[in-house]
Structure 1
Amino acid sequence: MVREPDEITGSTLHTAVAVGVITARQRDQLFALQASAPLAAVGNLESDADEENLRLIGGGNDLFVTVGTVLLTAGFYFASNTVLAGRPLWIAGVLALFGWGVAEVVTRQHRMKLASTVLALLFAGSTAALLAIVVEQTYQIRLPETIWEVLALRGQVSQAGYLLLGGVIAAALLYFWRFRVPILAGVIAIAATLLAFLQTTLLLYDGVASGTVTPPSLQDMPELLRAALYMPLICGLVVFATAVALDLYDRERRKIWSDCAFWLHVVSAPMLVHPLFIMATGQDVVFGRIEPGVDATIMLSILIIGFVYVALAIDRRSLLVPTLAYFGSLGIYYLVNSAANTTGIPPFALILLTIGALVILFGAGWQRIRRLIVGSTLPTSVLDKLPPFKV
C-alpha cells in the first residue's frame, strides 16, 4: 500500500508532467486551485458533518509554529527598538515588512492557519501604527480646547481619517490578495465601518456649518444619541449581508469565502445586537440598562428568538455566541430577576444556568434543532439556497 503524502510539492508536479503522469494543463489547474484557496482545509472535507468547520488551526504543528512565530516576532520587535531607538515610524515599517516576509514561508508555502492569522494581525496592526504615526507627523492634530479649534480642524480630521482608515483597508486588501487569510475580512469590515462613521460625522458637521442642520440643544442629546444608533445598525446590516452572500456562495463551506464569512458574522453581531436592543426596548443608550416593564420583556424575548432563528437558518453559531453573551449580560438579568427574588437564588447564578443550558442545547443538537425549526418553517425554494442540512 502506497503511503499518502502530507503535501505534494511543486517540484513533484513538474516531475509528474515530465514523466507523463499528468498533463501540463492539469498541473496548472492544480496550481490555480492552490492559489485561489491556499488556506482551505482540504483535509476537513470529510470531517464531522455537524461541525461548522472553523479552520482556525491546522493541528499540533501549526500551534508549534505559532509559538515560534510569536517568539520570533517579539525578539525582532525588541531588537528593532534597540537598533532604531526613537524612530517609531521605521519600527512600524520594518515590523510590517517582517510580518509579510515570514508569511511568505509560513502562509504562502506551508499554509499554517493559526500562525497565518497571527502574522496577518501583525501586519495589519503594524500598518495601522505606521499610518497613525504618518498622520500625527503630517497633520499634527491635537486635542482641541475651544469650539473654534474644533471648527478649524475639519479639513485636517477628514484627510487624516481617510489616510489612516483607507490605508488600512488598502493594505489589508493587498495582503489578502497575496495570502488569502480570512481574518482580514473582519479587519476590512471594521475599518470600513469606522470610515462610514467618519463620513457621516463630516456630513453632519457640514450641515451644521452651512445652516441646513439645526445644532442640537442639551435637551436633544438623548434623542440624538438614540438616532446615532442607526449608523452602526446600517453598517452591521451591510457586513451581515456580505457574510450571508459569502455563505450562500460557498454553501458546502469548502472554500476560503466561508471562513471570511465567519469573521464578518463576528464583526456584524455586536453592531446589530446593541442598536436593535436599545431601539426595541427603549432602554439606556450607552449601557443598555434594563428597567422593569412588560414591553421591554416582550421585545427582548422577540429579539432573542429572532437572532436564534437567523443563526439556525444560515447555520452560523458565530452569530449566536455574541448574541447570547450580550443578552446574557444585559437582558436575561431582568428576565430572571423576578425568579431570583422569589426563590432566593442569586441572579448571577440563574444567568449562568440559562446561558449554559442554551449553549449546551444548541451545541449538542444544533443540526437536529436546525432541521426541526428551519426545515419545517421555510419553503423548499428558500432552503435550497441556504447551507444544506447535515446528517
Structure 2
Amino acid sequence: MADLSTDDLRAAVAAGVVSEAQAARLLVISQQRGGFRCNMADEDEPFELFKGFSEIFVTVGLALLTSGIVALSLMLGNPFLLPLVAAGVSALFASYFTLKRRMTLPSIFLAGTFGFSVFVFFAIMLGGSAMPDAGSFALVFIATAAALLGYFRMFRVPFVMFLTGLCGVGLAYSLAGFLLPERFIGESLGGSLAEYLDLGTSPTLAFTLLGFGLVAFTGAMVFDLRDPHRISRNAASAFWLHILAAPAIVNVVVVSLLGIGGASGYLLAAAALAAITIAALIIDRRSFLTAGIIYIGTILTWAISSTDMDTGWGVIWTLLLMGGFITWIGAAWVPLRAALMRALPDFALKSKLPPYPEAT
C-alpha cells in the first residue's frame, strides 16, 4: 500500500473526507512513527488559485450569472438594494460551490463579490453624505470587516482574510485621519510614494502602515502556529495575511532607513534586509523576502555605482547578482532554513513553527 503523503491529506481535507484537525493528527502520528521531523519532506508554501480549467469555466459563468441577476434587480427594484442582492446571491452560490463542491477559484470570486458588495452597501448607508468624514469611513470599514468575518466563519475561505486585511488598511488610515486630521492631511498632500513610507518625512502615514503591517503579521502567525504542517486552511489564511503584512513592514522599514541618506542609510537598509531574510527563513514564508527584492536591487545599484564601473556594466552586474541571489536562496531554501533552525537555540514557539530536518 502506498504511503499517504501531505498532498493526499490536503486533498482529503478539501474533499471533506477528514477534518483539518483529523488530518493534522494523522500527519503527526505518521511522522512520529517515521522519525518525526527527520522524516519530513521538503515542503513549499501551499498556494492554489484553481484546481483545473473547469473552475475557470465555472467562475466565468458565475460572473455572468451574478451580473444578470443584479441587472434584473436593478430593473425591477430599488437600486440602493443592489449591493445586498449581489451579496445575498454570492452567499447563496457559495453554499454550493464552496461548502459542497469545494471549488477554489469560484470561492475566491464569490468571496470577493460578497466583500465588494457589502462595502458598497455600507458606504451608501454610513458614508452617503456629500462630504463623509474620516469617522464615517472608519465605520464603513469596521462594518465591512465584521461582515467578512461572518462570511469566513460560515464558509472558511482563506481569501477572505486578504479582504479583511484590506479593510484593516482602510480602517487604520481612517482612524489616523480622524484622530490626527491636521497632520494626516498635511502629510497626504503633494508627497511622493517614498515620502509617504518614510517615518522621518511622514510619521503619521508611515507609522499607520507599519502598525497595520505588524497587526496583520500577528494575525498571520496566529494562523500559522495553528497549522505548522500546512495541510489546512489555516496556512492558506496566513498566506493571504502575509501578502499584506510583508510589503507594509518591509517598505516602511527599508524606505525609512534609505531616507537617512549616504552610505550609512544604505548599509542600515542592507542590514534590515538581512534581518528580514533571516526572519522569513525562521517562519518559512518567502513573501517577506519577495517584498524586499526591489530594495535589494536598489542597494546593489548603489554599491556598484560607487565604483568606477561603466553604467551599462553596472546594470548588467546588478541583474546578475540580484538574479543569482534570488535563484540561489529560492533553490536552497529548505537546507538553508534547516541549518538556521538547528543553529538557533530553543525559544518559545519554535516547536510550533514548520518542521525542519534535525539531522544533517
Instruction: Name the TM tier (shorter chain).
Output: 0.7 to 0.9
**Residue identity in the other structure for 1:173:** L
- 1:125 correspondence with 2:94: no
Query: Share of identical aligned residues, percent?
Result: 26
Cα deviation for residue 349 of structure 1 reads 4.1
Among residues 72, 76, 98, which one is paired with 2:89 in the alignment? Answer: 98
Cα deviation for residue 67 of structure 1 reads 2.7
Q: Which residue of 2 aligns with 1:299?
A: 268
Among residues 76, 82, 91, which one is paired with 2:66 in the alignment? Answer: 76
- 1:189 correspondence with 2:155: no
CA distance in 2 between partners of 1:78 and 1:236 (Å): 38
The 5 Å alignment of 1:187-336 reads 187-205=163-181, 225-282=202-259, 293-324=262-293, 326-328=294-296, 330-336=298-304
Cα deviation for residue 354 of structure 1 reads 3.4
Q: Which residue of 1 aligns with 2:51?
A: 59
Question: Aligned-residue CA RMSD in angstroms?
Answer: 3.8
Contact 1:38 1:108 in 2 (8 A): no
Contact 1:99 1:122 in 2 (8 A): yes
Cα deviation for residue 76 of structure 1 reads 3.1
CA distance in 2 between partners of 1:99 and 1:79 (Å): 11
Q: Which residue of 1 aligns with 2:325?
A: 358
SS in 1 for 2:325: helix
Cα deviation for residue 370 of structure 1 reads 0.9
Cα deviation for residue 334 of structure 1 reads 2.5
Contact 1:92 1:130 in 2 (8 A): yes
With over 3 angstroms needed to count, the CA separation of the structure-2 counterparts of 1:389 and 1:134, relative to structure 1, is: same
With over 3 angstroms needed to count, the CA separation of the structure-2 counterparts of 1:104 and 1:227, relative to structure 1, is: closer
Cα deviation for residue 276 of structure 1 reads 0.7
SS in 1 for 2:133: helix
Contact 2:59 2:105 in 1 (8 A): no
Contact 2:169 2:212 in 1 (8 A): yes
**Residue identity in the other structure for 1:49:** A
Cα deviation for residue 174 of structure 1 reads 0.8
In structure 1, runs of 5+ residues without a counterpart are 11-29, 142-155, 284-290
CA distance in 2 between partners of 1:106 and 1:240 (Å): 30
CA distance in 1 between partners of 2:253 and 2:352 (Å): 27
CA distance in 1 between partners of 2:136 and 2:357 (Å): 49
Cα deviation for residue 330 of structure 1 reads 4.5
**Residue identity in the other structure for 1:278:** V
- 1:379 correspondence with 2:345: yes
CA distance in 2 between partners of 1:234 and 1:51 (Å): 31
**Residue identity in the other structure for 1:107:** T
Contact 1:182 1:256 in 2 (8 A): yes
SS in 1 for 2:228: coil
Higher Cα Rg: structure 1 or 2?
1
SS in 1 for 2:268: helix
CA distance in 2 between partners of 1:69 and 1:39 (Å): 29
SS in 2 for 1:375: helix
SS in 2 for 1:313: helix
CA distance in 2 between partners of 1:119 and 1:349 (Å): 45
TM-score of the two chains, using structure 1 as the length reference: 0.71
Cα deviation for residue 83 of structure 1 reads 5.4
SS in 2 for 1:110: coil
Contact 2:284 2:354 in 1 (8 A): yes
SS in 1 for 2:99: coil
Cα deviation for residue 343 of structure 1 reads 4.3
With over 3 angstroms needed to count, the CA separation of the structure-2 counterparts of 1:294 and 1:58, relative to structure 1, is: same
Cα deviation for residue 158 of structure 1 reads 4.2
Cα deviation for residue 170 of structure 1 reads 1.1
Q: Which residue of 2 aligns with 1:17?
A: none
With over 3 angstroms needed to count, the CA separation of the structure-2 counterparts of 1:38 and 1:132, relative to structure 1, is: farther
The 5 Å alignment of 1:28-43 reads 34=19
CA distance in 2 between partners of 1:37 and 1:91 (Å): 39
CA distance in 1 between partners of 2:351 and 2:157 (Å): 29
With over 3 angstroms needed to count, the CA separation of the structure-2 counterparts of 1:83 and 1:240, relative to structure 1, is: closer
Cα deviation for residue 346 of structure 1 reads 5.4
In structure 2, runs of 5+ residues without a counterpart are 2-10, 32-39
**Residue identity in the other structure for 2:119:** A
- After superposition, give the CA deviation of every residue in 1:265-298 in whole Å (9 maximum; x if it has no partner): 1101111012111322225xxxxxxx6x211221
With over 3 angstroms needed to count, the CA separation of the structure-2 counterparts of 1:281 and 1:7, relative to structure 1, is: closer
Contact 1:92 1:126 in 2 (8 A): yes
SS in 1 for 2:157: coil
**Residue identity in the other structure for 2:295:** F
The 5 Å alignment of 1:112-151 reads 112-137=103-128, 139-141=129-131
Cα deviation for residue 390 of structure 1 reads 4.9
